[in-house]
Amino acid sequence: MFLQSLRKPDWVSFPSKYKGVIKINVIAEVFPDLMRGLGVTVSVLIASAFFGYLMAFIAGLCRLSNNIVLRKFTGFYIEVFRGTSLIVQLFWLYYAVPMLFGIELGSNWWIGVIAIALNYGAYMSEIVRGSILAVAKGQTEAATALNMSSFQRMRLIILPQAVRMMLPEFGNYLIQMLKATSLVYLIGLNDIFYYGNILRSNDLSMAPTVYLLVLLFYFILALPLIFLVRKAESISKKGVAS
């Protein structure tokens, strides 16, 4: 619908000086090409979000464990991954790990997913930890008074409340992860950005149109997430602390 309105004749016959900025008729050509990368972008996003959240919970809970070794080790993981850049980690996994251990990590798709998941897992583990600590102390005490085990307290009382607090930040990080997926182009995955770059290298004059369209793709993917965050914010305001 959007594209059709753009293809109206009066749009196309803009004064020629505008034509170079965004080549309207080029959009129709470029669009299907970029679509071919959509699957990779979205699948990398979904997988790294899944493993990233998983990692966040594992690391966040380990940080709260009574076992000091586990706590220190997890702390080390978190600081290393938060202290260096995603792009460095990605290259490290891609170039250095095979050299270090003489093993291949499997497909590049997996390398991208692992890098993003480990990086964002480290950041988000702090949210998990913070939210769990933020659940009122009285909640644990009430659960203890009902003779719940420490596992039951966590599962039935603490986590359901903590997760609500995590939602908005988790949503924000989902948008960050979407942006991060563009890096997988650098390790040879054929995502949206990859196809954009192919088009650009074929014909440099198309570059503005192509990159704007690529950005638009990402933005359209981000839009539902932006609204999701707003929704999550309103949910998390409800249902915590009595």
Partner 1 sequence: MNWSWETFFDALPLVASGLGITIGLTIASYLFALIFGFVWVFLRRIPFKPISWTVTWIMEFIRSTPPLVQLFFIYFAWPVVPYVGMTLDPFTSAVLGLGLHFSTYIGEVYRSGIEGVDKGQWEASTALNYSLYDKWTKIILPQAVPPTIPMLGNYLIILFKEVPLASTIGVVGILHMAQSYGSQYWAYLEPLTIVGILFLILSYPSAILISKLEKRMNRRFDKKAALSSTQKGTVV
Partner 2 sequence: MTEPIVEFKDIHKSFGDVKVLKGIDLNIKPAEKIAVIGPSGSGKTTIIRMLMTLEVPTSGDIIVDGVNLWKMEKNGKMVKANEKHLREVRGDIGMVFQHFNLFPHMTILENCMTAPIHVKKEDKEEARERSIQMLEKVGLGDKLDNYPNQLSGGQKQRVAMARALVMRPKIMLFDEVTSALDPELVGEVLEVIRDIAKEGEMAMVLVTHEMDFALDVADKVLFLDEGVIAEEGTASEVIEHSKNERLQSFLHRFRS
Our separate counts of H helices and E strands in the chain read 13, 0
DSSP 126-190: HHHHHHHHHS-HHHHHHHHHTT--HHHIIIIIIHHHHHHHHHHHHHHHHHHHHHHGGGGGGGT--
135 binds partner 1 (CB under 8 A): no
Chosen from partner 1, partner 2, none, partner binding at 242 (C-beta under 5 to 8 Å by type): partner 2
Nearest to 33 by CA among 195, 237, 215, 142: 195
For residue 119, the minimal CB distance to partner 2 (Å) is 31
Chosen from partner 2, partner 1, none, partner binding at 142 (C-beta under 5 to 8 Å by type): partner 2
Nearest to 130 by CA among 186, 209, 59, 211: 59
For residue 144, the minimal CB distance to partner 2 (Å) is 6
DSSP 48-78: HHHHHHHHHHHHHHHHTSS-HHHHHHHHHHH
CB-based contact 133:61 (threshold 8 Å):
no
Chosen from partner 1, partner 2, none, partner binding at 2 (C-beta under 5 to 8 Å by type): none
Restricted to residues 38-97, the positions that interact with partner 1 (CB under 8 A) are: 79-80, 82-89, 91-92, 95-96
Of 67 and 202, nearer to partner 1 (C-beta) is 202
CB-based contact 213:27 (threshold 8 Å):
yes
For residue 235, the minimal CB distance to partner 2 (Å) is 11
For residue 160, the minimal CB distance to partner 2 (Å) is 5
16: CB partners within 8 A, 6+ apart? none
- Letters for 107-126 (x = contact with partner 1 by CB under 8 A, - = none) are ------------xx--xx-x
Residues that bind partner 1 (CB under 8 A): 17, 20-21, 79-80, 82-89, 91-92, 95-96, 99-102, 119-120, 123-124, 126, 172-173, 175-176, 178-183, 185-186, 193, 196-197, 200, 204-205, 207-208, 210-212, 214-215, 218-219, 222, 225-226
